[in-house]
Homo-oligomer: A and B are copies of this chain.
Amino acid sequence: MPVITLLTDFGTSDEYIGVMKGVILSINPAVTIVDITHRIDPQDLVQAAYTINACYRYFPPGTIHVSVIDPGVGTGREIIALKMAGFCFLAPDNGILSLLLNNISVDEAISVNNPDYFLNSISRTFHGRDIFAPVAGHLSRDVMLNQLGSPIDINTVKRLDLPRIKRLSDNVISGTIISVDHFGNLITNIDADTIYSICSGKPEKIPVVEIAGIDIEGLSDNYTTVPVQQPLMIIGSRNLLEISVNRGNAGRLFGKQKGDTIRMNVKEQKI
């Protein structure tokens, strides 16, 4: 019962995702296909990089993760297949897998160029259907990674310049909003360890974020620690700092969006 996941910026209003599934099922009718999301903002490789990093590990070992955010479709850009942490990742060589490459080691890396596993006719605009889907279908059966093409040096794989946390002083940092989720939660790139570190692990030191003129102090354990429509900070499901509003929408309330900067400092309180 192999699993193939699909992560794209194709949306769900056209036939594109359905067609990819048809191609996969034509090759392997026994596969289970799971949509991660198809609403990555068009061509947003950074958002895709964070999303695949947040989800891959929750799938069964051997799952084939297919990520198609592909503004260079039809150009000479390569398609890569990487074996990492017991999973297989298939993506254009444009940096989508950067965050994974920072975090986990690569067991095998292949440039996918063997047309035996492509559809017979390759369109200019839809390699998701013509290359990614059939290759994933074959991989989920009995085709080995090294049959898909030639080995590559992992150091040649393209990396994105991902937003980093900046240390502005001993206990002031700035981070970036990497995503505004469906609820309007502002997901930042500031991880729990960094917050622990700037607070020196001392409970009397609490992190403070100023946003739109309001100070949010300390980390909440759940959304109801503040009154309805009031903001809070919480370590979210990606183990990253999120700014939320209890039963509200932080993105709309604060007019913040993806890419905006968040500044955090530390306040000492009496306990």
| Chain A residues proximal to chain B, CB less than 8 Å | 1, 3, 5, 7, 9-19, 21-23, 25-26, 29-30, 32, 34-39, 42-43, 51, 54-55, 58-60, 63, 71-75, 123-126, 129, 179, 181-183, 220-224, 234-237, 239, 242, 246-247, 249
Contacts and interface: CB of A to CB of B under 8 A. Distances in A.
A247 B71 contact: yes
**Among A12, A124, A236, A239, residue most surrounded by chain B Cβ atoms (within 10 Å):** A124
Contacts of A18: 5, 7, 34-37, 55
A71 B129 CA distance: 32
A10 B16 CA distance: 18
B42 A183 contact: yes
Contacts of A13: 37, 39, 181-182
Given A58-B23, A182-B10, A237-B123, A1 B29 contact: yes
23 contacts: A1-B25, A5-B18, A11-B181, A12-B182, A16-B181, A16-B237, A18-B36, A19-B54, A19-B55, A19-B58, A22-B34, A25-B32, A25-B34, A42-B249, A71-B224, A71-B247, A73-B222, A74-B222, A75-B224, A124-B236, A125-B237, A126-B236, A129-B237
Contacts of A179: 14
B12 A73 contact: no
A6 B133 CA distance: 19
A236 to B, nearest CB: 5
5 smallest beta-carbon distances between A and B, as pairs? A11-B182, A74-B222, A126-B237, A18-B36, A1-B29
Contacts of A25: 1, 3, 32, 34, 59-60
A196 B270 CA distance: 68
A249 B249 CA distance: 27
